[in-house]
């Protein structure tokens, strides 16, 4: 049975409305922009970021678990994570959030972060790390001509030194009030919104190929 025949058969097992929703989402899905979350231990924040990824058509997200395992609050993400590709990188010393509170980053953590960044670069992504230090560019200035991965760390400490040192570029968003930073999930949503709009306005390179869309639709229909 060909992929097209499988899609035809599976699509008949769901309501026309649900199938139409899948087709609509598929047309806006992109692999050209992705988000990388490092050591996010707040379940509601992690879930909110994934919900924003889905809302703006991002198909993938990368999760780096060094000290903290990232648990997703399904009451917040509204089930969107099951439609996405979530790639996880877990340090062998990552246990529980409680046990990690007083543990300093170690060599396993550094290697885990480096592995994630290396894999992204091997796939052709420019890796941009959020930072308040040095001279980061504004998020609006990030290049979208090539596939782009934006890295975001925890609210209190941000990204690890390893992440910042191995990224291709650092970025920020201007804060005009007294606060130094946005809530993590709000920051992610703002970045994804601006970069997604900029990317889609540039050309049609953000679109998935027909074979990629067909494979993804088959997976969705099989859920």
Please check whether residue 79 is in contact with residue 104, taking contact to mean a CB–CB distance below 8 angstroms: no
Residue 73 structure tokens: 């609050």
Supply the pTM of this predicted model: 0.93
Residue 181 annotated as lining a ligand binding site = no
Set out the domains of the chain in order of their start, with CATH numbers: 1-29+208-223 (no CATH), 31-206 (3.40.1280.10)
Rounded-to-integer distance, Cα 8 and Cα 62, Å? 32
Rounded-to-integer distance, Cα 140 and Cα 131, Å? 14
pLDDT for position 133: 79
pLDDT for position 142: 97
Please check whether residue 130 is in contact with residue 150, taking contact to mean a CB–CB distance below 8 angstroms: yes
pLDDT for position 2: 93
Residue 205 structure tokens: 């390179």
Region for residue 137 given its phi and psi (left: phi exceeds 0; alpha: psi -120 to 50; beta: otherwise): beta
Distances, alpha carbon 195 to alpha carbons 42, 61, 66, 94, 190, in Å: 24, 15, 27, 32, 9
From first to last of its 223 residues, the chain has per-residue pLDDT tens of 899 999 999 999 999 999 999 999 999 999 999 999 999 888 788 889 999 999 999 999 999 999 888 877 666 666 888 999 999 999 998 876 555 666 778 999 999 999 999 999 999 999 999 998 768 999 999 999 999 999 999 877 899 999 999 999 999 988 788 777 788 999 999 999 999 999 999 999 999 999 999 999 999 999 9
pLDDT for position 100: 60
Nearest of 204, 198, 82 to residue 150 by alpha carbon = 198
């Amino acid at each position: 049975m060909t992929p097209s025949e499988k899609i035809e058969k599976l699509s008949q097992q769901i309501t026309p409305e649900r199938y139409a929703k899948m087709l609509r989402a598929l047309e806006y899905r992109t692999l050209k922009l992705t988000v990388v979350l490092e050591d996010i231990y707040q379940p509601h924040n992690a879930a909110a970021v994934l919900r924003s990824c889905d809302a703006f058509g991002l198909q993938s997200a990368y999760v780096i678990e060094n000290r903290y395992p990232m648990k997703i609050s399904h009451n917040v993400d509204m089930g969107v994570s099951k439609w996405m590709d979530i790639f996880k990188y877990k340090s062998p010393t990552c246990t529980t959030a409680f046990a990690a509170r007083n543990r300093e980053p170690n060599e396993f953590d550094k290697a885990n972060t480096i592995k994630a960044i290396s894999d992204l670069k091997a796939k052709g992504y420019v890796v941009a790390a959020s930072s308040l230090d040095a001279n980061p560019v504004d998020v609006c200035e990030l290049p979208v001509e090539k596939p782009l991965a934006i890295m975001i760390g925890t609210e209190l400490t941000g990204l690890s030194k390893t992440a910042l040192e191995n990224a291709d570029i650092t970025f920020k968003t201007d804060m005009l009030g007294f606060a130094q930073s946005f809530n993590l999930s709000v920051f992610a949503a703002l970045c994804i919104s601006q970069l997604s709009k900029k990317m889609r306005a540039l050309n049609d390179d953000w679109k998935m190929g027909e074979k990629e869309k067909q494979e993804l639709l088959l997976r969705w229909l099989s859920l």
